[in-house]
Amino acid sequence: MHPDREAHIRCQRCERTICPDCMHPAAVGFQCPSCVKEGARSVRQPRAPYGGRRSANPALTSQVIIALNAAVWLLITTTGGMASAWLDRLGLIPAGRCEVAFTDRYFPELGSAAECSQATMVTGNPTIWLDGVASGAVWQLLSSAFTHVDIWHIGVNMLAVWFLAPQLEAVMGRARFLALYLLSALAGSLFVVAFSAPAAMTIGASGAVFGLLGGLLVVVLKVRADPRQLLLWLGINVVITIAGASFISWQAHLGGFLGGVLVTGLLVLAPRARRGVWQAVGLGVLALVLVAATVAAALTVG
């Protein structure tokens, strides 16, 4: 690497001479930079209990998720809050919604942009059609899981992510944890599209959070740990969901929880032989089923 420098040391692996600036201490003698890189590639990376590569910092992904949610919340807050156009784009509406401009009124019975435009003559105010999943805004299935308006809403959800996510990433690895989080959010959105009012808007990370609860419950039962504390926490959240059913989406909570149970079940119960292949195939099939079911639900409400 430095042919102009005097070298008296040989690499213990390839026996090439190496100058003092390039040699790396080894268990016996020294190695050249090329052999050090080759050795690093050949060393088996530590694996998490269920096959994923072990995260050096299991809290990093949850910090990124929290930062993304905070950024979207700040965008919506600084552009009008409940009146923000970004909320209209990112929130989940199953079919679409016809809103009366400059008011908080909307027409739940109108299901198309054409019908909405005609409503202007009735209200005297301009009407605005907001696209939903059934009318093409498919990004709302995931964008809604990063969207909040009220500070208490994002605060409670992100606090749950902060406590739950690192535990799951530590036992799954980063890629599998992200699959759990996103597929749980998608499952929650599926239930919203299928069982919510066509013109109702749903926002928040609660579906994904309930997916984390479901996932952690599967892991706890798999390792035969005491689930009572987790079941108590889950029970409290169920009671809150039922008590606040008029403004809390039980659809997203239930769908997210079931999605989290299914995803984690696929990950932790996959056979050890070719575990990665089994997990990838299982998650791929589940994702396709969720997408197909969402399309079917959207066609029904549309």
Res 106: pLDDT:
82
Where are the chain's structural domains? 1-37, 60-95+132-301
- Reported confidence tier of residue 100, pLDDT bands at 50, 70, 90: confident
pLDDT in tens, 61-94: 999 999 999 999 999 999 999 989 999 999 999 9
**Gap between the Cα atoms of 281 and 215, Å rounded:** 19
- Reported confidence tier of residue 292, pLDDT bands at 50, 70, 90: very high
DSSP state of 112: S
Secondary-structure breakdown of the chain: helix, strand, coil percentages, each rounded to the nearest 5: 60, 10, 30
What is the CATH T-level fold of the domain 60-95+132-301, as seen in this structure? Rhomboid-like fold (1.20.1540)
pLDDT in tens, 221-252: 999 999 999 999 999 999 999 999 888 999 99
Distances (CA, A) of 54 to 44, 64, 110: 12, 18, 51
**Gap between the Cα atoms of 65 and 166, Å rounded:** 11
**Residue written as tokens 């989080």?**
181
Res 126: pLDDT:
84
- Token pair, residue 120, equals 């202007």
Which string of b and e fits 50-71 if b means at least 16 CB within 10 Å? bbbebbeebeebbeebbeebee
pLDDT in tens, 144-156: 999 999 999 999 9
Res 108: pLDDT:
82
Asked if 48 and 147 touch (Cβ cutoff 8 Å), the reply is no
Res 43: pLDDT:
47
Q: What is the CA radius of gyration of the chain?
A: 26
